[in-house]
């Protein structure tokens, strides 16, 4: 992926730093350097420092058998259609699980004016993280939404995910607004503006979506992802590859990935969260039943 830099409030391609920079500095006897100020880095630090609450979360993990998903993907390819992405299956499974268990479709809403309250969502909107490479700030992730994800089919979700992944400031308003806030405003003001969705329920819906976020670095070879998110539900999955599973008393190789759910335990305790998480796994292992009630 090409790196990005600032230009007139937007982002444009820029060449990477020379690979030999560290070697040259070491030859000159320099042990380190303080990198130039980077507004994207400062903005991301401001958001994460303000919104992340690791002490309030619990993480579940499960290995998911993708045999049926691979069958659905293969059938789509045989019919000349685009194969649904793994992320599309996860988005669909989580959205339908939230429909089955609406108590999970909530978040803790903080405020400048009153104590935290519970915000219950009537829609099921999926927030999806798409990475953007910015010089000196490789942690920048752009957040976009799939609105009413429970009403979208796998092909629709796959199409929208592809559009997000290939978006730039000229084609995606959410990315354009995010870029403009950081590049055009003084950093303190930009940080203040970017924190506002966490404090105002309407802004959260507009710019962060709903109760859950999905991300996956699986294509880069990561097996398991476990972290904390500003959302009350954070869903991640690792690389898909054959792994040993037991079927009918025999060990067989099946395509699997490890699914991770990070959730806010202030909103649901272990048993309700386990029911919700198990339903996601069921939806993934039985994709043909994804819209037909309980598997």
Chain segment 70-105, per-residue pLDDT in tens: 999 999 989 888 899 999 999 999 999 999 999 999
Q: Is the dihedral of CA 160, 161, 163, 164 positive or negative?
A: positive
Give percent of the chain above pLDDT 90.
Answer: 56
Chain segment 178-217, per-residue pLDDT in tens: 888 988 999 889 989 999 999 999 999 999 999 999 998 8
Contact indicator for 252, 243 with CB cutoff of 8 Å: no
Contacts by 184-190, CB closer than 8 A, 24 or more apart: 184/9, 187/39, 187/42, 187/43, 190/39, 190/43
Q: Quick one: 3-14+36-289 is in which CATH superfamily?
A: Chloramphenicol acetyltransferase-like domain (3.30.559.10)
Query: CA 126 to CA 212: how far, in whole Å?
Result: 6
> What is the per-residue pLDDT for 1?
38
Query: CA 264 to CA 51: how far, in whole Å?
Result: 13
> What is the per-residue pLDDT for 98?
98
Contacts of 242 (CB under 8 A, 6+ apart): 253, 254, 255, 256
Chain segment 267-282, per-residue pLDDT in tens: 999 999 999 999 999 9
Query: CA 56 to CA 27: how far, in whole Å?
Result: 47
Q: What is the 3-state secondary structure (H, E, C) of 182-197?
A: HHHCCHHHHHHHHHHH
Query: CA 276 to CA 268: how far, in whole Å?
Result: 10
Q: Mean pLDDT in the chain?
A: 85
| Backbone dihedral region for residue 136 (phi beyond 0: left; psi -120 to 50: alpha; all else: beta) | left
- From residue 66, how far is each of 59, 73, 239, 242, 254 by CA, in Å? 21, 10, 12, 10, 7
Q: How many C-beta atoms lie closer than 10 Å to residue 23's C-beta? A: 10
Half-sphere exposure of 72 (CA within 13 A, CB side): 18
Full-model pTM: 0.84
């Amino acid at each position: 992926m090409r790196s990005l830099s600032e230009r007139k409030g937007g982002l444009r391609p820029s060449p990477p730093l020379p690979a030999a920079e560290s070697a040259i500095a070491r030859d000159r006897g320099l042990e380190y350097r303080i990198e130039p100020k980077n507004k994207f880095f400062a903005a991301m630090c401001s958001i994460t420092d303000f919104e992340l609450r690791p002490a309030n979360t619990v993480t579940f993990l499960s290995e998911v058998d993708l045999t049926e998903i691979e069958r659905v993907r293969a059938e789509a390819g045989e019919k000349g259609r685009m194969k649904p992405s793994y992320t599309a299956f996860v988005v669909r499974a989580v959205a339908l699980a939230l429909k089955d268990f609406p108590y999970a479709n909530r978040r803790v809403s903080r405020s400048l004016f009153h104590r935290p309250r519970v915000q219950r969502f009537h829609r099921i909107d999926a927030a999806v993280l798409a990475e953007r490479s910015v010089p000196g700030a490789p942690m920048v992730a752009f957040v976009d939404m799939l609105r009413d994800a429970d009403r979208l089919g796998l092909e629709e979700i796959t199409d929208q995910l592809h559009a997000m992944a290939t978006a730039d400031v000229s084609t995606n308003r959410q990315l354009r607004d995010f870029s403009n806030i950081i590049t055009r405003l003084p950093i303190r003001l930009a940080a203040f503006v970017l924190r506002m969705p966490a404090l105002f329920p309407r802004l959260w819906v507009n710019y962060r979506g709903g109760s859950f976020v999905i991300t996956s670095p699986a294509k880069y070879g990561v097996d398991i992802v476990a972290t904390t998110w500003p959302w009350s539900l954070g869903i991640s999955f690792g690389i898909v590859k054959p792994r040993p599973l037991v079927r009918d008393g025999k060990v067989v190789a099946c395509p699997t990935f490890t699914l991770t759910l990070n959730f806010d335990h202030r909103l649901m305790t272990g048993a309700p969260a386990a029911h919700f998480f198990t339903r996601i796994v069921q939806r993934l292992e039985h994709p043909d039943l994804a819209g037909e009630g309980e598997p």
